[in-house]
Amino acid sequence: MYGMLKGKTAIVTGAAQGIGKAIAARFLEEGANVVLCDIDEQKVREAAAGLDPSGARAVGLKADVTRQADAQAVVDATAAKFGAVDILVNNAGILKHALLVDMSEKDWDTLFAVNVKGSFLFAQAAAKVMIRQKAGKIINMSSCSGKKPTLEEGAYCSTKSAILSLNRVLALELGPYGINVNAICPGATDTEMVRSTFLTSPEIEQEWIDKTALKRLGKPEDQAKVALFLASDLSDHITGEALVVSAGEMMSQ
C-alpha cells in the first residue's frame, strides 16, 4: 500500500464494474475508505466485498444517480460511517448508439438523466459536505466524445460535452472553499459497456487501436491512475481541467 489517499473517504458512482470498480480498487489500495454505488445492488455489493471482505473500508450501496434522494442518502451514509466525504468520482454513465435522426426522445432523456443530471446531483450533495470541510476533490468522468463528434453518438457526445461545462462551473463555484473539480476524458477503454456497444468485433477493435498513437486500447486501470492523481494532493493546484486519457487517439481525428 502506497498510502497516497490514507485517511481519505471517497464515493465512486457506477462502481459495480469497469472504470468505476477499477478506481474504487485503486483508491482502496492507496489507503482510502471507499463507498461504491451503482443501480445494480447485488453487483455493487459483490464488488465491494471482493475488494474488502471485512466491509471496514469498502461499502457497496444501491443508488439511482437520477434521484436526488439517492444521491443525498449515499452522501449521508458515507459521512455517517466514515466521518467525511473527501473525494467524489462521478463515473456512472450509459451509452446508446443511434443517429440523431433515429434517436428516440426516451433514449435522449435517459442519457441526459444518467450522465449529466446524475453528476450534478451527486456533486451538489457532496459539495455541501466539502464546503463545510473547506476541502474536497470532485472528479467528473467525461469522454473524448465530449471533445469531438462521433457518428451514432450524438446524444452521448452531447452529455459528455455538458459534463465539461458542468465541471468548469463547479470549479469556479467551489474553488473558494478549497475544492478542486476536474474531469477525465477517456478514449476507447476495454470495459463491459464498451464491449457491448461498439467494440463488438475484432475488426472494429483493431480500427480503434489503429487510431491511437500507443497502439492499444485503454484499460480501466489506466483511468484509475489518473483518477488517483486528481484525487491526491499532487493535483492541489489544478482545477476546472479535463485530462484526455486516450493513448493519443485524439491526435488522429
Report DSSP letters for 226-247, one per residue.
HHHHHHSGGGTT--S-EEEEST
Q: In the predicted model, is pLDDT for residue 94 greater than 90?
A: yes
**pLDDT one-digit tens code per residue, 184-235:** 999 988 888 877 777 778 888 888 888 889 999 889 999 999 999 999 999 9
Residue 158 phi, psi (nearest 5): -65, -40
The strand ranges marked E within the chain are: 9-13, 33-38, 58-62, 87-90, 136-141, 179-186, 242-245
Say what the pLDDT of residue 9 is. Answer: 98
Q: What is the mean pLDDT of residues 118-127?
A: 98
Can you give the residue ranges of every domain in the chain?
9-188+220-252
Give the number of C-alpha atoms closer than 13 A to the C-alpha of residue 220, restricted to the C-beta side.
Answer: 19
Distance, in Å, from the CA atom of 149 to the CA atom of 135, rounded to the nearest integer, reads: 35
- The arithmetic mean of pLDDT across residues 141-153, rounded, is 92
- Report how far residue 242's alpha carbon sits from residue 167's, in angstroms, rounded to the nearest whole number: 8
Does the pTM exceed 0.75?
Answer: yes
Active site residues: 156
- In CATH, 9-188+220-252 is 3.40.50.720: yes
78-91 average pLDDT score = 98
C-alpha cell at 44: 455493487
> Where are the extended beta strands (E) located within 52-141?
58-62, 87-90, 136-141
